[in-house]
């Protein structure tokens, strides 16, 4: 695997290194040794997938508060998404900064999202599927988020038409409340 640091502290784009032959290819998508070599956790406790039938579906920006703060490894397995991360950790050198990258079934790219980073994406095509692994179990009472359009972050989302977004994601607060210890 190839790990490329993003402008967000602790976040990486992860590219596979396919070994090809006449049958196709083989590639590793997670390896404890390779993750440890760049100081990333590979202790995934849960794997999840999401399906989105329509382009313009926005999910985010989500995170879990401590003590259940999680790290994620996210991949788009069908279709295409614009994946966004935003640093919500006060005191971090990249606090209130964001980064976006296209993940799709063709580039097979992944993004590693560390603790203290909100995560979301918008679908760029119909019938999109994402697969992600997390280092903590989902605990509903520790689920949190920030608004996808919070001016404190200034995220620039691709213009893909009228957004399809849940009421819950529309209602996240505009500013991170400091009492939400990560």
CATH classification at residue 56: 2.60.120.10
Q: Which residues of 63-90 are buried (b: 16+ CB within 10 A; e: fewer)?
A: bbbeebbbbbbbbbebbbbbbbbbbbbe
Q: How many CB atoms lie within 10 A of CB 165?
A: 17
Domain that holds residue 156: 2-170
In a domain, 177, yes or no: no
In a domain, 175, yes or no: no
103 close to 113: Cβ distance less than 8 angstroms? no
pTM: 0.93
Q: What is the DSSP string of 111-163?
A: EEE-TTEEEEEEESSSSEEEEEEESS---GGGEEE--TT-TTT-------SS-
pLDDT tens profile 125-143: 999 999 999 999 999 999 9
In a domain, 87, yes or no: yes
Residue 181 pLDDT > 90: no
In a domain, 108, yes or no: yes
pLDDT tens profile 5-52: 999 999 999 999 999 999 999 999 999 999 999 999 999 999 999 999
In a domain, 178, yes or no: no
Residues noted as catalytic? 62, 132
Helix ranges (DSSP H) in the chain = 32-37, 167-170
Distance CA 107, CA 102 (A): 9
User: What total number of domains does the chain contain?
Assistant: 1
pLDDT at residue 175 in the model: 67
pLDDT tens profile 141-174: 999 999 999 999 999 999 999 999 999 999 999 8
pLDDT tens profile 41-60: 999 999 999 999 999 999 99
Q: Order of strands, edge to edge, in the sheet holding 128-134?
A: 2-5, 12-15, 110-113, 72-78, 128-134, 46-52
């Amino acid at each position: 695997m190839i790990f490329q640091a993003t402008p967000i502290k602790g976040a990486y784009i992860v590219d596979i290194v396919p070994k090809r032959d006449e049958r196709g290819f083989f590639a590793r998508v997670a390896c404890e040794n390779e993750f440890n070599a760049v100081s990333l956790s590979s202790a995934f406790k849960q794997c999840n997938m999401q399906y989105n039938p329509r382009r313009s579906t926005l999910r985010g920006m989500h995170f879990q508060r401590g003590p259940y703060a999680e790290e994620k490894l996210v991949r788009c397995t069908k279709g295409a998404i614009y994946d966004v991360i935003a640093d919500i950790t006060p005191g971090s050198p990249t606090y209130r900064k964001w980064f976006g990258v296209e993940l799709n079934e063709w580039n097979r790219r992944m993004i590693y999202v560390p603790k203290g980073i909100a995560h979301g994406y918008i679908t760029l095509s119909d019938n999109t599927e994402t697969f992600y692994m997390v280092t903590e179990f989902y605990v509903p009472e520790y689920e949190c988020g920030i608004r996808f359009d919070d001016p404190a972050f200034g995220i620039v989302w691709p213009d893909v038409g009228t957004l399809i977004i849940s009421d819950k994601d529309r209602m996240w607060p505009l500013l991170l409340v400091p009492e939400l210890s990560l």
